[in-house]
Amino acid sequence: MACASRKCPQWLFLGLSLVALSGVPADSSALHESSHGGSWQRGHLRVDGQHNMMEKEEDTLRISGGKEKKENPLVGIIFGLVLWCLVPVCLWNNERIAIKQYKMQFKAERWAIHIDEPEREPIKDMDGRIVYVSGVSKVDETLADAKFPQVKSEGKIKLRRHFQMYQWVEKSKEEGSDDNKRTVYYWEQQWSDHKEECPHDDSGEHQNPPMPLPSSQRQKQGYRASSDAMAGSGEDCAQAAHEKVCVGSYYLGELVIRELQQWKPKNDVTAEMLQENKGAIKGEAILKADWWYFGGEGGEKIGDVRVQFEELLPGPISLVGVLTETKTGWTFAPVKRPDAAGTGDNVAYEICGSCCVRVKELHYVAEGGDDEFKTDLEGRPKELTDTEKSAFRRADTAVGVEEYAIEEDFGDLCCVGPFGGVVIKFMHWLGLEEEFLAVRETKMPLDKVMDKEGDEAANRHHMARLGFFLLLVFGSWCIISPVVKLLNYNWMVSLLGGGLISVVIICAACLCTTSAFCCIVSTAWIVHRPFLATLGIATAVSIGVGVYFYVYTEEQKKEGHSSSASASAEAAFLATRHVMNHVFKGS
């Protein structure tokens, strides 16, 4: 045989032996069992959580010939390859967004105009410039709930109704192992702010009545994952008009309000306020643990309802964004252009830090000094073009001004075809934003605001890097898992070396994944952080060279062995194959 030559490593014979063993059943009972024709059944079980009753649902899977059902290894391999096509694109764009955020934040910190007196009306020359303002927001409007009109809030930004009904909630779990898995459905009683459906309740014992009233949500879904998780469900809650929510002479539009999180329970609700409602809810409302219960003593039975209210409060606020004028008045828009306006966008900043960049701090004071202020303002960069400023003046608010939609180069998404836009939207939904608008619900100096924003953005990108790295590792595991399972088909194969070879393969896959991760991240940063990027590329190259050197040295060691060792390995392979076939055929 060709494998008997001295240049063929001995571990190859060990691998062939393991593959030969893997083709033999683990015990003779498996062979006898497979010789009988028949069918195998799997059923779904349903468990009633209240009466502890079980009934079997017909869901039969028949496998002809009595053969054991096997998982198709190609499915895992294809899934791993798909991950390796998509995740590097997401990782690359995570670094692209991180670089963009860094540059926008650095520009905002250096060139922001300090508005010392928010009550003073800004001058026209400030339109389209980056500004920093710190003050106290106020609301001049009274809100009323849509379903409980007597519940009102004065001087608040939003009023939300949180309405719940006690319902059956259907859940499921998997029981059994391998091909004996079955789905078990069961029902629990819980409070929910939307109607729960129980599609697998054929008996009809776990169906819920219709909800008499909908709940309301803090804001529309789809902006950001963290906001969506706390928004609730139902219709939009009562909200003050944007022009009524102001910080001095500036109103807070939707772009700012959606960042606010000062939600507090409304504690001045009375039972009399809840008597008038648009859901025909009868009975006296009873307060228990911050909830108002209807139709009972605050018990918990199917169909019971309860309600509570919360308010979004105005208060101290610090803002960094682009000042712009709309039909409604002066407001704030996000920074979108990723240039650093000549500050810190070079290698010198990586070496010396912020000490190498000095920009005069410009203040818009309460009164006086306008001539000097206008002179200094001429040398400041403009964030908005004349066309964009005109578009904002024609708009009611700063939301949805198409002229300010900065075009981006998404050419690096070509490998995901038509799904490139979906990838970007998903990353934005995760909080990896390509615009910058700082909103802090406290009074803070500019440097503290930027430190907080920078730290939070860095944490988001670090978490994304960790998540994408783990996905790459998982993709590598999906690709090599068929080989690993083959090398560990049974305990005998594992003891004869399959387990050790599996460890080597897994370590090699992890090293290759780490090397690819370092290359992608470092290449994205090489223009803006050349020293850090060079370190990452050197790490990736070192891993590749180390793996190659290890394999090469091992091959050289094997070549030094005698041909008798190779012949003995071949003989061991043939003998093992012959003995195992004889044992199992004879049994």
pLDDT tens-digit series, residues 143-158: 999 999 999 999 999 9
Least Cα distance to 483 among 210, 74, 120, 55 occurs for 74
262 with 313: CB under 8 angstroms?
yes
Report which of 555, 320, 282 is spatially closest to residue 444, judged by C-alpha positions: 320
CA distance 276 to 279: 9
Note whether 453 and 75 are within 8 A (CB): no
Give the CA count within 13 Å in the CB-facing half-sphere of 259: 20
pLDDT score for 414: 47
- Amino acid symbol at 484: V
Q: What is the pLDDT of residue 494?
A: 81
Domain locations in the chain as residue ranges: 84-136+316-465, 138-312
Cα–Cα distance, 261 to 234 (Å, whole number): 19
Nearest to 183 by CA among 59, 13, 361: 59
Rounded alpha-carbon distances, angstroms, from residue 67 to 218, 580, 581: 55, 21, 20
Q: Rounded to an integer, what distance in angstroms lies between the CA atom of residue 350 and that of residue 559?
A: 50
Beta bridge partners of 310: 160, 265
Name, in order, each residue with C-beta under 8 angstroms of 479's C-beta and a sequence gap of 6 or more: 76, 77, 80, 81, 84, 509
| Pairwise CA distance, residues 529 & 517, whole Å | 17
Q: What is the pLDDT of residue 358?
A: 67
Q: In tens digits, what is the pLDDT along the chain, a chain of 587 residues?
A: 444 333 444 444 444 444 444 444 433 333 333 333 333 333 333 334 333 333 333 333 333 333 344 567 788 899 999 999 889 888 988 988 998 898 899 999 999 999 999 999 999 999 999 999 999 999 999 999 999 999 999 999 999 999 999 999 999 988 887 677 788 999 999 999 999 999 998 888 899 999 989 999 999 888 888 888 899 989 999 999 999 999 999 999 999 999 999 999 999 999 999 988 877 787 788 898 889 998 766 668 898 999 999 999 999 999 999 999 999 999 999 999 887 655 555 555 555 555 555 678 899 987 777 788 888 888 888 999 999 999 999 999 888 888 888 655 555 454 445 566 778 888 888 899 889 999 999 999 999 999 999 999 999 999 999 999 999 999 999 999 998 888 888 888 788 888 888 898 999 899 889 988 988 888 888 866 677 778 878 887 888 787 777 777 877 776 765 444 445 444 444 444 544 454 444 44
pTM: 0.75
Contact between 551 and 561 (Cβ < 8 Å): no
Distance between CA 437 and CA 448 in Å, rounded? 15
